[in-house]
Structure 1
Amino acid sequence: MTTLLPTTTDGHGSVGTDAASTADVTPARGVCLTGGGALVRALAAHGVTDAFGIPGTHNLEIYRHLRPHGIRHVAPRHEQGAGYAADAYARLSGRPVVAITTTGPALLNIAAAVGQAYSDSVPLLVVSPGMPLRHPRQPTGLLHEMRSQTDALRGVAAFSHRVSSVDETGAAVARAFTLFRTGRPRPVHIEIPLDLLETIEPAGAVRLAPPTGRTAADPEAVARAADALYTARRPVLVLGGGARAAAAECLALAERLSAPVLTTANGKGVVDESHPLSLGVSLHSPAVREWLADHDVVLAVGTELAESDTWAPLPPLTGTLIRLDLDPAQMYTGPRADVPLVGDARSALGTLLAERPGTAASPALPASRAHADVAALRTARDDETRTRDARWLPYLKAMREVLAEDAVITSDSAQCCYYGALPHLPLSPSGRYLHPTGFGTLGYALPAAIGAKTAAPKRQVVALSGDGGLQFSVQELATAAQLGHSLPVVVFDNGGYGEIRDEMAARGDAPAAVDLPAVDLSALARAYGGHGTVVRTPEALAHALATALVTPGPTIVTVPEETPR
């Protein structure tokens, strides 16, 4: 009997042969594959070209098929790092990517990254083996055994799908990509029983996610929104991460209405932050929140308007609230919308712009007045925190002068990031700022920078972190060194967990467990195969950053901060 060889793409559009699968297909039974082969075939069919993960005893059948199907692989040093890297890759590129773990502890290691991706609406696909199909419910002591992987991942993912046949594997992948393409992007988990990974069964043709688009907002609701906006005396736009694909439409509408623009952390840079209508990431400012409450129409696009965006309860809005979101659930959670718009942001905003082509030529406030109001509010915002934020401003200004317009900054849950860079490091739509909002994980910046650099190797990528957060994932310096990409890691070192230290002091408590022994981060970087330096002035930071951007491998640039010890 002749054995048929399944054909695969090599990642560049040419067709090759999966030599590892030569025994998996027979003409008598049609296409037969192992569970691992069916999984990787389905991933490649949906456009996956890159994967992050760590091989283990139970997932080797997945790894066997990656190269023949043209899927490149990056191996971080910890599964949480794999998850953060994949998260950043997906945010930056918009392309599908997969994170691979083995069973048990490996899957739990990536759970924090899955939770972060859920919070920030990132289409992360995690695949793992699971216990065998007929594994007894009573524990047997099998390697990596746990009561239920799917129950654990359901708590942080949109869904966790355990397949029961080789053919179902392709359907599970199609289900994941249908969610990614049509609904609010969320992370998902696919579990393949470890015995099924090695089992050869009929797989049928590849199942593909249907080529359906995202929902269009109701035309009558769009018309109501247009009436409210075009007759508003003082309209304002609040843009979240869901507005990113509609950056041009957001700017056009803001300029037509002379409407100031606020963004959340995930919406940072959707409208150029140097634009005279932009207030940037300012929802945390008491002055800005009070100002926002007094507007007669607020258009919120792709944002939950959550406490993680405002850092305090949002004050009651006295005017009309229009909420535009892809997720219908946002219309009955958070602030109640007077005009709910459920659908694709770019489509709905395009319709809004076309609704009354000439009626907004003379907005309620002249553009010059709106620009002056925004400038005054920026000053009021900065005055509130001038004492706290002053330590970072000269360094952030030095970074901005060195970085290209389209540079990517990956961020951590560190004071230098959420107090410093979010409001004070301006970006345009061509740049990106990737921040772990909502879930607020630590250790995101370094592995996320690796993922961003994998997705866009020709763009400048800089990780920005504190010394405490960096040490959650500092082992990924080894990954960065292995890849050889130029990767600056700017670390503001305040000797521990500065935010928690300040919160303890504000409560009148004696600081406890927040002061960390000094670490020679430069020496640590060199030990991992990278580079390191310490700078004490903004000018020195600018020079070190410029050098690190053209030096292969990671470079830790440490900026010491004074601490209260």
Structure 2
Amino acid sequence: MSTRNGGAPNGGAAVVETLAAHGVDTVFGIPGTHNLELYRHLAPCGIRAVTPRHEQGAGYAAEGYARVGGRPGVVLTTSGPGLTNAMTAAAAAYAESQPVLVLSPGVPTGAEGADLGLLHETKDASGAMGRLVRWSRRVASPEEAADAVTEAFAAFRGTRPRPVHLEIPLDVLEQPWGGSPWVGAVTPVPAPDAADVRRAATLLAGARRPLVIAGGGAVDAAAEVRGLAEALRAPVATTVNGKGVLDESHPLAVGAAVRLRALQKAAADSDALLVVGSELGDADLWEGRIGAEAVIRCDIDRGQLHKNCRADVALLGDAAATLRALLAALPERVQAPVDVDGLREACRAEARAGAGGYERINAAVRAGLPADAVLAGDSSQVTYLGSVHFFDVPAPRRFCYTPGYATLGYGLPAAIGASLARPGHPAAVLLGDGAFLFSVQELATAVDLRLPLPIVVVDNGGYREIRDQQEARGIPPVGVDLPVPDLTALAGAFGALGVRTTDPGALTALVADALSADRPTLIHLNNRE
């Protein structure tokens, strides 16, 4: 679409028309004095502007949109504080390998670092963002701005997806633009060496105790993971970001269990471990380690192939294509199947030992939602001790949580982004009161959008996890026991529905009812009474 019936196109049009050419139909951000030339062109290009109440919420919504929809999320901020407000969300997207494009205006050309006292002046906005994202670029012309947007989308499609930032100086936003938007070629994806594929296939086919670990890099290779696992009769465990790559009700599925010692022991006992699309970082392993008699790793990022666990066979390439090649190279195999049921039950028992009442809460919420619903969690115990293990999903891209960056305030805005990425499909939020109050203002955004969003807030009276850590270290509780406001009244003040219960079992009906409402419903579970 063109913006040119509204006057001479400018640098703002160069950016927005190029976004539209790449299929962008939704952006998240807050209009400000300096980004108005971007906002001018959104509606003529058919792009919807969603206005969260804080730029950090815009960033989390864009991340949730990308995580669930598989399409890049776009954030528009104004200069200075608008951009710095979004930095935490950008850093989270980097840690979680999500494709997010952050666009911001910058000081006029020639004013870089001049300390002139300009409105929203920042010493070096691009430099600051460059320390947090894949790349951050300040452009010098409308043509360069359009090219940078195209380059960002090319990188999202052909490499490990990570956020990028584009700074457009104020004068460049207003400069005339005589170009046209263009879509670049997809970045060529490396293919693994054929001999390495054959070697890996031989190892897997001859293994008596094969095991597959699928990470976030495997979310678009679900069919291939399943096909290979069924051919090998091998159990499949996932990292948190890989949750659902294999339907968690599948007979070979162990669940998001990589952090559990039972799974790590099974890996150590394995004679052929295949790791697909994971860095096997501390957020995945919880101070554990992964190793095996023979390790095969597949990743699109060369730097991941030996990280935290050296590979005996390293396969550089796209997960889906590489797994198809592995399956085609498998010789006939006749081996006794692994005891998947025993491994699954050992992992469940270990998770259950640390879950407290969170298993029951998750079971109740799960029962109130359709199988294909999205659940957004937060850095809350009910998420990482509960939902990770006890909220089963049938497919990838159905669970929003940031295990690596472990940010607070993510769940509600991420669910908003997820709802817009899959319109008409249910989503829900399940988190603690501490996390919810980090982004409570986004309740107003959900109300604006009339989202039938169940928001289940588990009342821990503040920061329960940190309180537990203080007690474990012999530190008297400090700054963690906090009063919780009347959340039902708060919901009503925002224009949402609000209900309160002390019974986890009541959540099933309350969540189901919330899905048919014409606005979000805050469900306050006072778990302390």
Normalization by structure 1: what TM-score? 0.91
Letter in 1 for 2:21: A
- The answer on whether the counterparts of 2:500 and 2:523 sit within 8 Å (CA) in structure 1 is yes
The CA deviation string for residues 377-414 of structure 1, in whole angstroms up to 9 with x for no partner, is: 33333333545314122222222222112100111010
Q: Do residues 19 (structure 1) and 33 (structure 2) align?
A: no
Residue 503 of structure 2 is aligned to residue 537 of structure 1:
yes
* Distance in structure 2 (CA, Å) of the matches to 1:106 and 1:93: 25
**Which amino acid in 2 is paired with 1:344?**
D
Verify: 1:276 aligned to 2:251, yes or no: yes
Percent identity (aligned) = 47
SS at 1:245 equivalent: coil
| Counterpart amino acid of residue 332 in structure 2 | T
Whether 1:480 and 2:439 are equivalent positions in the alignment is no
CA shift, 1:430, in A, is 6.6
Q: In structure 2, which of residues 312, 332, 356 is the aligned counterpart of residue 359 of structure 1?
A: 332
**In the superposition, relative to structure 1, how do residues 382 and 136 fare at CA in structure 2: closer, same or farther (>3 Å)?**
closer
8 Å CA contact retained: 1:59, 1:101: yes
Match of 1:239 among 198, 204, 214: 214
Matching residue of 2:195: 220
* Residue-by-residue CA offset, 1:49-79 (whole Å, 9 max, x unaligned): 1101000000001000000011111000000
Q: Distance in 1 between matches of 2:430 and 2:457?
A: 6
Pick closer, same or farther for the CA change 1:212–1:379 going to 2, 3 Å: closer
* Alpha-carbon shift at residue 213 of structure 1 (Å): 4.5
1:404 aligns with 2:370: yes
Determine the structure 2 residue equivalent to 1:94.
Answer: 70
Runs of 5+ in structure 1 lacking a partner?
Answer: 1-7, 10-16, 25-32
In structure 2, stretches of 5+ residues that fail to align are none
The alpha carbon displacement at 1:148 in A equals 0.3
From 43, 47, 53, the equivalent of 1:67 is 43
Closer, same or farther in 2 for the Cα pair 1:59/1:260, shift >3 Å?
A: same
Partner of 1:561: 527
Question: Following TM superposition, by how much is the alpha carbon of 1:431 offset from its aligned partner in structure 2, in angstroms?
Answer: 6.5
What residue identity is the alignment partner of 2:401? H
Q: What displacement does 1:84 show?
A: 0.6
- In the alignment, which residue of structure 2 is the partner of 1:427? 393
Q: Which residue of 2 aligns with 1:209?
A: 184
* Structure 2 residue identity aligned to 1:124: V
Check the 8 A contact 2:113/2:124 in 1, yes or no: no
Does the 8 Å contact 1:116/1:437 carry over to 2?
A: no
Aligned-partner Cα distance in 2 for 1:218–1:110: 41
Q: Given the alignment of the two structures, is residue 415 of structure 1 paired with residue 386 of structure 2, yes or no?
A: no
Letter in 1 for 2:301: D
Distance 1:215 1:147 in 2: 39
CA contact (8 A) 2:214 2:239 kept: yes
Q: Match for residue 43 of structure 1?
A: 19
**SS of equivalent to 2:456:** strand
Match of 1:548 among 514, 517, 526: 514
CA contact (8 A) 1:158 1:188 kept: yes
Q: How does 1:184-195 map to 2 (within 5 A)?
A: 184-195=160-171
Distance in 2 (CA, whole Å) between partners of 1:430 and 1:380 is 23
Alignment pair present for 1:111 and 2:82: no
What is the deviation of 1:258? 1.3
**C-alpha RMSD of the superposition:** 1.5
Alpha-carbon offset, residue 167 of structure 1: 1.0
Q: CA deviation at 1:527?
A: 0.6
Contact 1:324/1:343 (8 A) holds in 2: yes
Checking the alignment, whether the CA contact within 8 Å between 1:118 and 1:157 is kept in structure 2 is yes
- The DSSP-based 3-state class of the residue aligned with 1:191 is strand
After superposition, the Cα gap between the structure-2 partners of 1:224 and 1:136, relative to the gap in structure 1 and judged at 3 Å, is: closer
Say if 2:411 and 2:431, in contact at 8 Å, map to a contact too. yes
Taking the aligned partners of 1:411 and 1:426, their CA distance within structure 2 comes to 13
Q: For 1:331-410, what aligned pairs fall within 5 Å after superposition?
A: 331-356=305-330, 359-360=332-333, 362=334, 364-366=335-337, 370=338, 373-410=339-376
Greater shift in the superposed pair: 486-495 or 282-291: 282-291
Match of 2:138 among 136, 151, 162: 162
1: CA distance, partners of 2:496 / 2:239: 34
